Amino acid sequence: MREYRSGSQILFGHLPEQTVDADGGVWKVKKWIDPSSVSAIDTGALRDELVRAAYPWRDANPPQDGGFVDDLLAQRPVRVRALNREEGVFCEPFPRLYMCQRCKRLHDEAMGGCKCGATGRRGQLPFVGYHEACGAIKTPYVRKCPTHGQRAVRFPGTASAAELIFFCPECPPNNDVIHRGFTASCDCAQGGVLSFTVHRSGTVFKPRGISMINPPRREILARIEQAGGGERALEWVLEGMVGRRLTESAAAQNPASIRKLLEDRGFDDTTIEAMLAAMPAAGPAAPKSLTLDPGLRADAERQAKQIALATFESRITVADLLGQSSTEALRNRYEIEYSRALTRAGIERVELIDRFPVLTGQFGYTRGKPNPGESRLRAYREKSGEYIVYGDLAQTEALLIRLDPRTVHGWLVRQGIGLNRQADTRSAAEAILSAMSPMDRPNDATEKVVELVHSYSHAFIKRAAVFAGIDRNALSEVVLPMGLSFFVYAAARGDFVLGGLQALFESDLDQLLDGLVDDEHRCALDPGCEDTGAACAVCLHLGEPSCRMFNTKLSRRALAGGSGYFDITSSPS
């Protein structure tokens, strides 16, 4: 049997140990056949991103990550594997419990004659058993009648496995029931009973993945590192991203980056110290110093470096649009209307990245409870001990949106975060960052900033989809709260046509932002939605492939409703 699926369908829906519908039956993916190795990966950033994504399972009591995070921190190798489009994936029929379409008798084989006289291919009973603790998935066991050796199923009209009735078609109707529902224990070391449901259920298999900005070529990463890496990138973002890119000229003022460059070229420590001592002192343009908790600084530098990598090769600003305007009407729109709309929406900048380098990958899966940390994480791993990320490295188009630090500062003060008044954008950004804590142990300021940036991202995506005339699931996000920023990018799925975000950026940005601020912010499911967090599938949620935070850290109250972000955008602190 051969069926064809798009690469994005396979990345999200045909992963090892996942069940799929194909060719009129149910199958389990065993492996990707001869996947190709993706080498142009920022392995350090990949490792950091995996640790961040898997930490909720590591932080559970007891830990539910199977040692994954500790192995990553101990530098256990991680490899990215891409789909071999010529070979595809190998599947096997699953579950192996087949039903005669005529009499509903159950069989262990897909083909053959039934006692009722039917012949040919049988259908599958689409129920499976799974175990949260060990990640096993099994074909349900149905006992046979001890007298006649027969078994059949009677459907009660619901999808509940517990209500299925298994009976003997040969016994008298008033005495034919063998048992109701399924029940079985797992034979793993953890023990416990299996749970049973239809194979398509999200509790049977939930992929766990990441999205990260990754340079398409190694030399880009090398140039970023030579320019000062994450340390210089953070300064660059705080300064307002002055200039076209994070350039190597910054390295002349950064001894740490020069040391790394000399180490990479093989110089010993004595020689490096001598060369650094002989360097002239940095001039007045040296980067400002910002004292931060080491964990917080690592998070902030990592996110700033992601922005620097994304904008290194491609960056179109509103000022670029103004400079290229051919008519007075366009110049007025970009200079006046866009500026007004950005200010009203509390946005410092919106930029188009027409070559956005993004790695989308799946590093494991869970069965059972959906929230991170509530069920066992099963990371993909080869027999050699290396961890595997099944991924796709692509260049697409994206919009970078950075919120105005002064407006965020004023909003945080309204939320009860103790911040001193700041006179300029950089001081406001520094004050916000200094009040935050690392992402793995968030304080109140961090929680509020994450909620604001993430809620803004979802609201923006929903409106951008309308203006671009596409399905919202064709857009995805990368949220960088330490940089008060997020990227909205065109995903490799859905009906998105490249150029949609560019057209939006060049023609309708002011209308989008005005609508974002002015339109109704209540939910059709209020007051129920309002009472349970003010975020649901009707108002703020996106499809899981679009949201890597599993639709958590969201609230309409962060945006509007009296003390929301849009309520104060006209009066930043």
| Res. 559 pLDDT band, cuts 50 70 90 | very high
Which of the 8 DSSP states describes residue 447?
H
**What pLDDT does 250 receive?**
46
Count other Cβ atoms within 10 Å, centred on residue 368. 17
- Burial degree of 180 (CB within 10 A; 0-12, 13-18, 19+): middle
What 3-state DSSP class applies to 395? strand
Per residue in 233-290, pLDDT (tens digit) is 999 999 999 888 886 444 445 566 566 656 655 667 787 777 667 655 544 444 456 7
**What pLDDT does 271 receive?**
75
Give dist(CA 344, CA 348) in Å, integer.
Answer: 10
188-197, 242-251, 467-476: least confidently modelled range: 242-251
Give dist(CA 377, CA 64) in Å, integer.
Answer: 6
Residues 322-341, mean pLDDT to the nearest whole number? 93
| Res. 472 pLDDT band, cuts 50 70 90 | confident
| Res. 120 pLDDT band, cuts 50 70 90 | confident
**What pLDDT does 440 receive?**
83
Reading the block at residue 483, the tokens are: 């940089």
pLDDT at 208 over 70: yes
| Res. 425 pLDDT band, cuts 50 70 90 | very high
Give dist(CA 528, CA 151) in Å, integer.
Answer: 46
**What pLDDT does 262 receive?**
61
Residues 566-573, mean pLDDT to the nearest whole number? 66
pLDDT at 42 over 90: no
pLDDT at 564 over 90: yes
Per residue in 339-379, pLDDT (tens digit) is 999 999 999 999 999 999 999 999 999 999 888 888 999 99
Residues 383-402, mean pLDDT to the nearest whole number? 93
**What pLDDT does 218 receive?**
76
Residues 131-159, mean pLDDT to the nearest whole number? 90
120-129, 209-218, 393-402: least confidently modelled range: 209-218
What 3-state DSSP class applies to 456? helix
Q: What is the mean pLDDT of the chain?
A: 88
pLDDT at 391 over 70: yes
Higher per-residue confidence, 224 vs 559: 559
Q: Percentage of residues in the chain with pLDDT exceeding 90? A: 62
Residues 160-181, mean pLDDT to the nearest whole number? 92
Give dist(CA 397, CA 559) in Å, integer.
Answer: 26
Q: Which of 492, 485, 517, 489 is nearest to 505 (CA)?
A: 489
**What pLDDT does 288 receive?**
52
Residues 485-509, mean pLDDT to the nearest whole number? 81
Q: Cα separations (Å) of 429 from 229, 238, 404, 406, 479?
A: 20, 7, 9, 7, 17
- Which strands form 177-180's sheet, in the order they lie side by side? 152-154, 165-167, 177-180
**What pLDDT does 159 receive?**
67
